Amino acid sequence: MRILAAPDKFRGTATASEAAAAIAAAGRGVRARTRQVPMSDGGEGFTEAFGGANKVSVVTGPLGDPVPAGWRLSGRTAVIEMAQASGLLLAGGAEANDPIAASTAGTGELIVEALDGGAKRIFVGHGGSATTDGGLAALRALFPAARLKGVDLVAAVDVHCRFLDAAEQFAPQKGATASQVQLLSRRLERLAQVYLEDHGVDVTTIDGGGAAGGLAGGLAAVGATVESGFELIADELDLATAVEEADLVVTGEGFLDEASFDGKVVGGLAGLAAEFGVPILVVAGEVFDGVGDRVPAVSLVSSFGRERAMADTAACITEAVAAHLASL
């Protein structure tokens, strides 16, 4: 049997690589050949999906303090995870964040590092941000934008949110009060006008332009394309061929719900598996919204109890997959 282990992270309990290794451990029990392909949809784990960070740069954190940020440079391709430089966890979470002051400067500085390293393709994963600055600080760090000429800059996103909706949709999760959300929304409206006047790009019309507090729209103003993070990774890793060659696809994430099928890893893998007629199993921490009826799915919480599912996630994944394999 050939198994493709292509999970997303189980946020807070297992990285995508740890989950893939846990699936492979179950495969060894039936002497299956398992190909491990840790996945991401553009958020946490984005760099890991390309092989992990091999560079570290000290950049400006979301609240102005210096932070070490891991990123990847392979040949002329750079992979950056904006949360490594401008993430909410770096700000101490929503409770400690200053949603008005939080800045994407460090992400811009990482892009400059990539340019200085000779990168001609730069992928920026969006997700987990502390910011709603519309990418303004990142663009200031990148100035002049002419340095991006001849560079394929890609904003990899996992949401469809547009630029002007970024504050209302996501700023409360970053600690913003109702009045701060209004202020941030007005700031984004003004910034969209500036981008149109200075760069000739109407960022308000771009699907996904509101990702990471509008960073995607800001990068688009200076020439970036905004793309699905899952589709970018799938293309770069030739995921379709990996699925076609498998006898079983095993994927998963922490919370399986309707959103999992809208530009996320599970939905993307389910689509590819259906296209090639390959069986799929989804292992999730918890399953919501009755979506377990859409794909074969197992809930770790239901199977092992919440305490063990949270404390010993990798072992639970191995046991769940092993049970499924034994039933085939």
Checking if the pLDDT of 325 tops 90, the result is yes
Q: What is the pLDDT of residue 223?
A: 97
Q: Which of 214, 230, 246 is the last residue of a domain?
A: 230
Same domain assignment for residues 70 and 163: yes
Q: What is the pLDDT of residue 281?
A: 98
Q: What is the mean pLDDT of the chain?
A: 97
35-84 confidence digits (pLDDT tens)? 999 999 888 899 999 999 999 999 999 999 999 999 999 999 999 999 99
Same domain assignment for residues 62 and 205: yes
118-128 confidence digits (pLDDT tens)? 999 999 999 99
CATH of the domain at 294: 3.40.50.10350
Percentage of the chain with pLDDT > 90?
95
Q: Which of 172, 203, 230 is the last residue of a domain?
A: 230
User: What CA–CA distance (Å, rounded) separates 196 from 158?
Assistant: 24
7-46 confidence digits (pLDDT tens)? 999 998 999 999 999 999 999 999 999 999 999 988 889 9
Q: What is the pLDDT of residue 42?
A: 87
Same domain assignment for residues 186 and 112: yes
- Identify any residues that bridge with 36 across adjacent strands, giving them in sequence order: 5
Q: Which of 230, 251, 285 is the last residue of a domain?
A: 230
Q: What is the pLDDT of residue 192?
A: 98
Average pLDDT (193-213) is 98
Is the pTM higher than 0.85? The answer reads yes
Band the pLDDT of 176: cuts 50, 70, 90.
very high
Q: What is the pLDDT of residue 44?
A: 83
Task: From residue 65, give the alpha-carbon distance in Å to each of 88, 100, 113.
Answer: 13, 16, 18
Same domain assignment for residues 30 and 67: no
Q: What is the pLDDT of residue 263?
A: 85
Contacts of 188 (CB under 8 A, 6+ apart): 132, 134, 163, 164, 166, 167, 214
Average pLDDT (177-192) is 98
Same domain assignment for residues 86 and 185: yes
Nearest to 153 by CA among 206, 85, 221: 221
Whether residue 318 contacts residue 308, with contact meaning beta carbons closer than 8 Å, is answered with no
Percentage of the chain with pLDDT > 70?
100
Same domain assignment for residues 211 and 242: no
Band the pLDDT of 146: cuts 50, 70, 90.
very high
Same domain assignment for residues 207 and 248: no
Band the pLDDT of 293: cuts 50, 70, 90.
confident
User: What CA–CA distance (Å, rounded) separates 88 from 90?
Assistant: 5
Q: How many independent structural domains does the chain possess?
A: 2
Checking if the pLDDT of 289 tops 90, the result is no
Same domain assignment for residues 26 and 72: no
Dihedral angle sign, alpha carbons of residues 159, 163, 168, 170 = positive
Domain of 210, in residue numbers:
46-230
| Token reading at 262 | 């809208």
CATH of the domain at 187: 3.90.1510.10
Same domain assignment for residues 207 and 68: yes
Same domain assignment for residues 63 and 165: yes
Q: What is the pLDDT of residue 256?
A: 96
Same domain assignment for residues 64 and 199: yes
Specify the residue for token string 């063990």: 308
**Cα angle at 126 between 154 and 101, to 5 degrees?**
120
Q: What is the pLDDT of residue 218?
A: 98
Q: What is the pLDDT of residue 290?
A: 85
Q: What is the pLDDT of residue 36?
A: 97
Same domain assignment for residues 219 and 279: no
Phi, psi of 77 (to 5 degrees): -110, 125
236-279 confidence digits (pLDDT tens)? 999 999 999 999 999 999 999 999 998 899 999 999 999 999 99
Q: What is the pLDDT of residue 285?
A: 97
Q: What is the pLDDT of residue 110?
A: 98
| Token reading at 169 | 């949709």
Q: What is the pLDDT of residue 279?
A: 98
Checking if the pLDDT of 166 tops 90, the result is yes
